[in-house]
Amino acid sequence: MFNSAVLNLAIGLIFTFLTVSLATGTIVEMIASILTLRAVTLRKGIGQLLNDPDYRALAKDIYTHAAINPRSDGTAASISAGNRKNPAYIDRQLFGQAMLDILKISPAVANAANSPSAPLGKPTVGELKTAVDGALTTAATAQGTAAPDDQLQKFLHGIIERSVGDPDKIKAELVAWFDNAMDRVSGWYKRWTQFISIIVALILAAGLNINAVEVAKTLWKQPNLVAELNLPKALPAGGAAASPQTGAPAPSADLKELIDDLNTFPIGWKDGHWMGWGAFWLALLGWVITALSTLFGAPFWFDLLQTIIRVKGAGPSPVEKVDGKGAAA
């Protein structure tokens, strides 16, 4: 089956990158959990979104709201930056509802519902602006300033005017505002995890001497090494289920065998030691290539490995033929 040196080389390298990516992803996830990176990044994003980085006004009100942070007891101490109970995720709809409460829009709607003079039981645009201005003034006082935040005031007034005072439309715009901000927060978190991933992967590559250049040279000279990996058995034609937490292939009974097979790769020190500075810089290049491969993620290498094996072997499954996802045999 494995009779092409080029494809054997590709399969061997991809398998190496997949294994390193899986190990790196696990370690990075552990580091992120220990340092509560998601919660810390989210807290910073909410503080910037509401122009309250010190958590003395609107950001504090959001984090003490029971719908947003049910594990908080409502005190400032319970939402401090070092509190490990701070939420790592916030539901977009709950954020919108909490903002209606904090901005005094919900009470205005309730009052209008009990007022026979209110049009259709809804507050007017002017009434909602007044309620919001009151909430922003209270927030400004908590932050030690006299006037409401001009940027937030203009933004919220614009939402009220565009929605013609409709609370549902106001909530929808607040949710969209939150989603846009969270896209940026996700970007921050991704950059941090990528940086950590590179460091972890480089340590793994150097510590275990997983030298992509040396692996490629050896596989080219000894292509039959790939046959020892038992890949067709470990990688079913239909694919593996994805882990809901990371999106990586779910662990299977063959994962240990795959990792054990990696130990047969000839990636040890050359002749038991380094041969001068030239060999060191070449090894460093190999380590860096291995580390950079983890930026693509384990799912990428897993899918690529399946595709190449289908090209080289039995072809796509019947289901993949129907879906149009299978590679040509």
Q: Tell me which residue of 156, 159, 121 sits closest to 135, measured CA to CA.
A: 156
Handedness of CA 241, 249, 187, 103 (dihedral sign): positive
CA distance 306 to 292: 21
Mean pLDDT of 104-126: 73
For residue range 92-101, what is the model confidence (pLDDT) as tens digits?
999 999 999 9
One domain for residues 42 and 19: no
Residue with tokens 């129907």: 322
Confidence of residue 200 (pLDDT cuts 50, 70, 90): very high
For residue range 54-66, what is the model confidence (pLDDT) as tens digits?
999 999 999 999 9
Confidence of residue 264 (pLDDT cuts 50, 70, 90): very low
Contacts of residue 8, Cβ cutoff 8 Å, sequence gap at least 6: 2, 219, 223, 224, 225, 226
CA distance 233 to 78: 51
Q: Tell me which residue of 62, 76, 80, 86 sits closest to 174, measured CA to CA.
A: 62
In the numeric block, which tokens belong to residue 168? 């549902």
> Angle, to 10 degrees, between the axis of helix 212-221 and the axis of helix 5-35?
150
Do the domain assignments include residue 329? no
Do the domain assignments include residue 71? yes
pLDDT at residue number 209? 86
- Size (the chain), residues: 329
Which tops the pLDDT comparison, 45 or 241? 45
CA distance 132 to 259: 59
Which tops the pLDDT comparison, 72 or 117? 72
Task: Cite the beta strand spans of 28-98 per DSSP E.
Answer: none
How many helices (H) does the chain have, and how many strands (E)? 14, 0
Mean pLDDT of 267-284: 60
The burial of 208, by beta-carbon neighbours within 10 Å (0-12 exposed, 13-18 middle, 19 or more buried), is given as middle
Domains of the chain: total: 2
One domain for residues 30 and 77: no
Of 168, 184, 200, the domain-final residue:
184
Please give the share of the chain, as a percent, with pLDDT higher than 90. 41
Most confident of the following: 27-41, 109-123, 206-220: 27-41
Confidence of residue 292 (pLDDT cuts 50, 70, 90): very high
One domain for residues 205 and 309: yes
pLDDT at residue number 220? 80
The whole-model pTM stands at 0.69
pLDDT at residue number 183? 93
Residue 296's SS3 state is helix
pLDDT at residue number 82? 81
One domain for residues 162 and 197: no
Do the domain assignments include residue 267? yes
In the numeric block, which tokens belong to residue 135? 């909430």
Mean pLDDT of 79-94: 89
One domain for residues 229 and 308: yes
Please give the share of the chain, as a percent, with pLDDT higher than 70. 73
Asked if residue 222 has pLDDT above 80, the reply is no
The burial of 253, by beta-carbon neighbours within 10 Å (0-12 exposed, 13-18 middle, 19 or more buried), is given as exposed
One domain for residues 177 and 261: no
pLDDT at residue number 260? 52
pLDDT at residue number 250? 45
Asked if residue 26 has pLDDT above 90, the reply is yes
Q: Residue 135: give the domain boundaries.
A: 38-184
Residue with tokens 């319970």: 78
Do the domain assignments include residue 245? yes
Asked if residue 261 has pLDDT above 80, the reply is no
In the numeric block, which tokens belong to residue 272? 């038991």
pLDDT at residue number 313? 60
